[in-house]
Amino acid sequence: MGYSSDYMPWVGAVPEKDGQLVIAGFTGHGMPLILLAAKGIAKMLREESAFEETGIPRIFKPTMERLLTKKNDILDGLAKL
Amino acid sequence: MYATNAYTAGIAPQFAHKIVPVRGICSHIVTPKDKPSPLLPNTYSIRYGPAHYDYLIPRPDGSIVVGGAKQDFWHDKSWWYGVTDDSKLIEPAKHYFDGLMQRQFVGWDDTEAYTENVWTGSKKFNSPTMG
């Protein structure tokens, strides 16, 4: 599975990489999310829609903040055991 | 467009430790043909503690698909964190599912339920922050 370090998928434009999109990191929960996530990202690709016009939940948006944070919830969960 | 899930960091390195390959383990439990299994009408999440649970899906034929087993290996990252080798089982967990139905559910003691198959595969990780 592709686990996301903040448990949220990455669905949208790759930050600071013009022309690149990503739909990945579903943390073992792809089944309930993939159909509409893919529909949203396809709209971005085909219609050049902004992320905000796709209906994709805001928390899935790839951002530099998400990329730069050192926080890793996967490993933090480990520490709690 | 990167639709590469676990493998994304392999081609877009900024995603290293952001999108991480994680290996899981899952099983198929059956009963002998002459021993029908009790009806389980729901899917189940058997929770043992924070971040530890098995997820169970009864099949139409009465057999059980159940995965998880994190108690047996989650403490050791080398078995699952960043692991892309799906050809190998998570060794410490491979017998975890043996007798699970008899242990966890009432009415399975006489079914002779046994683990017919174990594989490396997808599992549900129920993030507490997202449904």
Q: What is the mean pLDDT of residues A15-29?
A: 96
Which residue of chain A has the CA closest to B4? A24
> Which of B8, B17, B124 lies nearest to residue A24, judging by beta carbons?
B8
Q: What is the mean pLDDT of residues A16-44?
A: 97
ipTM of the modeled complex: 0.94
> Which among B46, B69, B43, B68 is positioned nearest to B57, based on CA atoms?
B43
> Which among A57, A53, A46, A45 is positioned nearest to A14, based on CA atoms?
A45
Order of all β-strands in the sheet with B25-30: B44-49, B52-58, B64-67, B25-30, B114-120
pLDDT in tens, A46-56: 999 999 999 99
CB under 8 Å to A6, separation ≥6 — which residues?
A66, A69, A71, A73
CB-based burial, B24-54: b 16+ in 10 Å, e otherwise: bbbbbbbbeeeeebeebeeebeeeeeebebb
Q: What is the pLDDT of residue A81?
A: 57
* Contact criterion met (CB < 8 Å) for B127 and A22: no
B17–chain A Cβ distance below 8 A for any pair: yes
pLDDT band at A21 (very low <50, low <70, confident <90, very high): very high
Q: What is the pLDDT of residue B129?
A: 37
**Which amino acid is present at A57?**
P
* Contact criterion met (CB < 8 Å) for A41 and B1: yes
* Contact criterion met (CB < 8 Å) for A66 and B130: no
Q: What is the pLDDT of residue B131?
A: 38
Q: What is the pLDDT of residue B42?
A: 95
CA distance A18 to chain B (A): 11
* Contact criterion met (CB < 8 Å) for B17 and A5: yes
Q: What is the pLDDT along chain B (131 residues), one digit of tens a residue?
A: 999 999 999 999 999 999 999 999 999 999 999 999 999 999 999 999 877 899 999 999 999 999 999 999 999 999 999 999 888 999 999 999 999 999 999 999 999 999 999 998 644 333 333 33
Q: What is the pLDDT of residue B52?
A: 86
With beta carbons under 8 A apart, name residues in chain B contacting A29.
Answer: 124-127, 130
Q: Which helix (H) or strand (E) holds A11?
A: strand A10-13
pLDDT band at A61 (very low <50, low <70, confident <90, very high): very high
Q: Which helix (H) or strand (E) holds A45?
A: helix A30-47
Q: What is the pLDDT of residue B125?
A: 33
| pTM as predicted | 0.86
